[in-house]
């Protein structure tokens, strides 16, 4: 996943590092497992299981799972 067009028309890309599109999201349990492995080295942090992208324009959020290019879930801002 490197580039896609949001349903609102905004082009989203994670090619810039860092960027404001891709979110690093862990569940509390996943995070607990990570920090309990031992000493934390930020370079050794695993990638999140779910890849989450947020559109800066309409705030839609896209959840990609298992390396799929097609979003498994799409959330649109309600309020």
Please give the residue ranges that form the binding site for Zn ion (CB under 5 A): 6, 8, 10, 55, 57-58, 60
Nearest to 55 by CA among 2, 14, 12, 3: 12
**16 or 43, CB closer to Zn ion?**
16
In the complex, least distance from residue 23 CB atom to Zn ion, rounded to whole angstroms: 14
In the complex, least distance from residue 59 CB atom to Zn ion, rounded to whole angstroms: 7
Contact 14, 51 (CB under 8 A): no
Nearest to 50 by CA among 16, 75, 15: 75
In the complex, least distance from residue 60 CB atom to Zn ion, rounded to whole angstroms: 5
């Amino acid at each position: 996943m490197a580039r896609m067009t949001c349903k609102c028309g905004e082009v989203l890309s994670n090619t810039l590092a860092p960027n404001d599109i891709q979110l690093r999201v862990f569940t509390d349990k996943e995070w607990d497992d990570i920090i309990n492995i031992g000493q934390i080295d930020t370079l050794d942090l695993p990638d999140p299981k779910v890849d989450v992208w947020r559109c800066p324009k309409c705030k839609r959020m896209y959840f990609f799972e298992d390396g799929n290019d097609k979003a498994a879930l799409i959330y649109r801002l309600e309020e």
